[in-house]
A and B are shown apart, each in its own frame.
Chain A
Amino acid sequence: MRRGTLYLMLAPNLILFLALTVYPIGWALRYMFYRYDGTYRETFIGLGNFNRLLTRDTIYWASLGHTFEYAGGKLLLILPLAFLVAMLLNLPFRGRTAMQAVVFGPTIMSSAVMGLMFYLLFNVYNGDVNRYLMKLHLIHAPINWLGPKLAMLTVVLVAVWEGMGNYMVYFLAGLQTIPKEVYESAAIDGAGYWRRLFAITIPMMGPVVRVVLMLAILASFQDIQSIMVMTGGGPLQKTQVVFLYIYQLFFPIDASTPVQPQIGYGAAASVLTGLILGGITLIYLYISKKLDDLY
């Protein structure tokens, strides 16, 4: 009787989990063997979808490359910046908590809505970014921020704006776990600021950095909301990341031309992508564990 209550209490979340996480995965594992456009009956085609993915679909592989480009660029910018800002906001000064709140602020805003605003700000002809750069005489002609050359950089910059506060808070939490006594005794021993930074702060932040890096990798593989709004994967598919490509296989409605959804193919691409990205995550976990043993 009492045991039964426990299972009943677990039910609400478990039902949602089974229906909306487990079932979709099983669904994809079945439909990856089918050709299906959502309207006509599905036909079993064995490994046909994978054959197409592995041998003919250059867009898929290009979009996977863009995902790594995007993730790499974002991590290289956002993590050092978040670390520096966390160090800055860990100093004792007046208005520190207010400043923390401001820096964390962008993470509570819709990345789709802000993506739309950034689309206006980065507009070639009448966006504020170009206008101010011209006024300050830093550039002479408007820069095409969302053109084929720079669009990837621009979506990465926007991602840095949106996500930095999050990682800043993680680093700040890590910095605050370092006992003050360690710094005090080092200072007494005559260690200067830089010495303390490299001998105490950075080594002691090692475990935190590894967890944060994991979370940041996972997040950067997945965020497509602001890219979708700002560029839709364009121009010339330069910002087409892999999850955006998969989304468009399932829901091609946004496109200017009416295209049939490719459900079975999308399922196959989903599974392959899940395996590739999951594999990278595992490799990362393995390496970071090895590093753990080294220290």
Chain B
Amino acid sequence: MKRWLAIPAFTIAGAALLVFTLYPVVYTLLGSLKTNLELQGGGSFLPSHWEFSNYATAFREVDFLRYSWNSVALSLLTMIFSLVASSLTGYVLARHRFAGKRLLMAAYLSVMFVALGPITLYPQFTLMHSVGLTGNLLGLALVLSAGQSSNIFLTIGFVKGVPKDIDESAYLDGAGYFRIYRSLILPLIRPILGVVALFSFRLAWNDYITSLVFSMPNPAIKPLTVAVVGLRYSANAAAEVNIMTAGAAIALLPMLVVYLFTNRQFISGLMEGAVKS
């Protein structure tokens, strides 16, 4: 390709890409600082007056402080459950042979290739209801931690990269499997645990449908996503587009800040999975 043509062409393509990707986010963040009138009437790109009171209203009057806390607690719980479940399973499946291993691997793998969509929601809900795990964040976090297949296969791949003689010599010295997992494997697979932590945190922070269903019996456990979308259906939604936008910004910002520091792990974690498959 001719160089004098290529450089402007790529620059224009790149600029278009940036506008396409960033505009909706910038719109949300700037819009959260506009008055309702300005948002609806279509004023300038920047807010004419920085309306921080939108946030104050959202936090104080629409209870967003509680929803933010719910989102944080839910995401951290899901992250911890996912880390524990997938690191334990990943270690055992990468290192050991036992009866039923092939079946278990096949089962975990196949659910990645079956489109279940929201089919499982109702039975999940009734099951969790019968053991008292609906209407609280613990039950919701357990449900969100359940679809861990891709994290497990990421962990298996990483554990396999750790030299086997390390844990074999520990085994000969009399260390049990759990001990080997906890004091040898866990510290060595920290990079992939970081990726699993990010992926599961993102899953819980952004989840909408499962959270919507599980917070039906108890609106006090609504996470931010459910609360923000719920504003659309409130009685005076049209008069409160600014509050809705501020709520959306509150739901986005923490994840954006996390992403600012961890985007490399996100991308390399995904690449790792892609190359393996």
Residues of A in contact with B (beta carbons under 8 Å apart): 2-3, 5-10, 12-14, 16-17, 19-25, 27-28, 85, 88, 91, 93, 97, 99-106, 108-121, 126, 128, 131, 161, 165-166, 169-170, 172-174, 176-177, 192-194, 208, 211-212, 214, 218, 221-222, 224-225, 228-229, 243, 246-247, 250-251, 253, 263, 266, 270, 273-274, 277-278, 281
Interchain CB contact under 8 A, B228 and A116: yes
Query: Could you tell me if A169 and B271 are in contact, using CB atoms closer than 8 angstroms?
Result: yes
B35 to chain A, nearest CB (A): 13
- Write 29 A-B pairs (CB below 8 A) sorted by A numbering: A6-B177, A13-B85, A16-B85, A19-B127, A20-B127, A23-B123, A28-B119, A102-B21, A103-B17, A106-B24, A106-B25, A109-B206, A110-B255, A112-B228, A114-B24, A117-B28, A120-B39, A161-B20, A172-B271, A173-B271, A208-B274, A222-B117, A247-B118, A247-B209, A250-B122, A251-B122, A251-B213, A273-B119, A281-B113
Which label, helix, strand, loop or mixed, suits the secondary structure of the A interface?
Answer: helix
Question: Does any Cβ of A come within 8 Å of B163's Cβ?
Answer: no
Q: Is there contact, CB below 8 Å, between A274 and B115?
A: yes
Interface size on B, residues (CB 8 A): 88
Q: Provide the bound-state CA to CA distance between A92 and B20, in Å.
A: 22
Bound complex: CA of A208 vs CA of B277, how far in Å? 9
Q: Tell me which of B17, B122, B142, B244 contacts A266 (CB under 8 A).
A: B122
**The one of A24, A173, A251 that contacts B124, using a Cβ cutoff of 8 Å:** A24
Known: A20-B146, A117-B28. A222 touches B115 (CB 8 A): yes
A182 vs B264: C-alpha distance when bound (angstroms): 28
**Are A116 and B114 also in contact (CB < 8 A) when A110-B251, A128-B42 are?**
no
Most chain A CB neighbours (cut-off 10 Å) among B31, B119, B143: B119
Q: With A104-B267, A263-B122 in contact, do A169 and B274 touch (Cβ < 8 Å)?
A: yes
Enumerate chain B residues within 8 angstroms of A23, measured Cβ to Cβ. Answer: 123, 127
Task: Establish whether residues A103 and B21, one from each chain, have CB atoms under 8 Å apart when the complex forms.
Answer: yes
The answer, yes or no, to whether B235 is at the interface (CB within 8 Å) is no
> In the complex, are the beta carbons of B21 and A24 less than 8 A apart?
no
Q: Given the complex, which residues of A lie within 8 Å of B42, measured CB to CB?
A: 126, 128, 131
**Per-position binary interface string of chain B over residues 141-165, scored 1 when its CB falls under 8 Å from any chain A CB and 0 otherwise:** 0110111100010000000000000
Say yes or no: B21 contacts A117, CB within 8 Å: no
Complex CA distance for A215 and B7, rounded to whole angstroms: 33
| A99 touching B225 in the complex, CB below 8 Å, given contacts A5-B177, A177-B275 | no
Residues of A with C-beta under 8 A to B232: 116, 119, 229
Cβ contact within 8 Å between B267 and A100: yes
Given contacts A161-B24, A218-B113, A281-B113, contact A247 B121 (CB under 8 A): yes
Residue-wise interface mask of B (179-219) relative to A, using a CB-CB cutoff of 8 A (1 in contact, 0 not): 00100000000000000000000100111110001001000
| Pair A6/B96 contact, Cβ less than 8 Å | yes
**Complex contact A161–B21 (CB within 8 A):** yes
**A16 proximity list for chain B (CB < 8 A):** 81, 85, 142, 145-146, 148
